[in-house]
């Protein structure tokens, strides 16, 4: 009786099984680092709108990696990104500033949660229209810091604009 050895490869798995595997990978950024641009089939699965992505880019990411995320990865996630967390807390560079140079926040139509940590008044003012255009946004966390002495009137104006334009934001 001869036994034959069957060798399987990762790529032999069905699209649905690969999607389930990708759903389990956290943080989601590892999916792109590990599998993006290996072949067209994997790219198609990674960019499928059913694969929902949450990104917390606040910790353990250096400026060059962050720029890569903004230029290469994030534009491909416009239909999948449901949660995004950015921060200016890192003293070496300002994530939100770099993000705004490369990305238009309003392109992320699936975004449900947005956290902006240590955002400046000017940065918030620049993206206010984009925030208001995010129809699926249900949670907005803003931790604001501005060393320039932003007036209470300016802050009140932004808060009132956010509250009046979107009843769905918590």
Indicate whether this model's pTM tops 0.85: no
Cα 55 to Cα 45: distance, rounded to the nearest angstrom: 18
Residue 24 · residue 54 · CB < 8 Å: no
Q: Which runs of consecutive H residues, i.e. helices, occur in the chain?
A: 15-24, 29-35, 40-46, 63-68, 74-76, 95-102, 121-133, 152-165
Cα 162 to Cα 23: distance, rounded to the nearest angstrom: 32
Query: pLDDT at residue 169 above 60?
Result: no
Looking at the chain, the whole-number percentage of residues with pLDDT higher than 70 is 80
Query: pLDDT at residue 90 above 90?
Result: no
Average pLDDT, the chain: 83
- The angle, 0 to 180 degrees and rounded to 10, between the axes of the packed helices 121-133 and 95-102 is 50
In eight-state DSSP terms, residue 13 is: S
Which pLDDT band holds residue 136 (cuts at 50, 70, 90)?
very high
């Amino acid at each position: 009786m001869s036994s034959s050895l069957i060798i399987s490869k990762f790529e032999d798995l069905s699209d649905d099984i690969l999607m389930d595997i990708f759903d389990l990978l956290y943080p989601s950024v590892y999916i792109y680092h590990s599998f993006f641009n290996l072949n067209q089939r994997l790219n198609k699965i990674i960019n499928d709108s059913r694969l929902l992505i949450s990104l917390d880019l606040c910790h353990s990411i250096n400026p060059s990696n962050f720029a890569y995320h903004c230029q290469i990865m994030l534009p491909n996630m416009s239909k999948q990104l449901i949660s995004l967390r950015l921060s200016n807390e890192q003293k070496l560079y300002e994530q939100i500033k770099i993000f705004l140079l490369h990305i238009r926040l309003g392109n992320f139509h699936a975004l449900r949660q947005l956290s902006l940590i240590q955002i400046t008044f000017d940065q918030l003012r620049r993206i206010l229209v984009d925030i208001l255009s995010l129809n699926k946004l249900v949670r907005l966390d803003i931790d604001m810091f501005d060393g320039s002495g932003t007036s209470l009137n300016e802050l009140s104006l932004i808060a009132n604009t956010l509250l009046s334009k979107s009843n769905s934001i918590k």
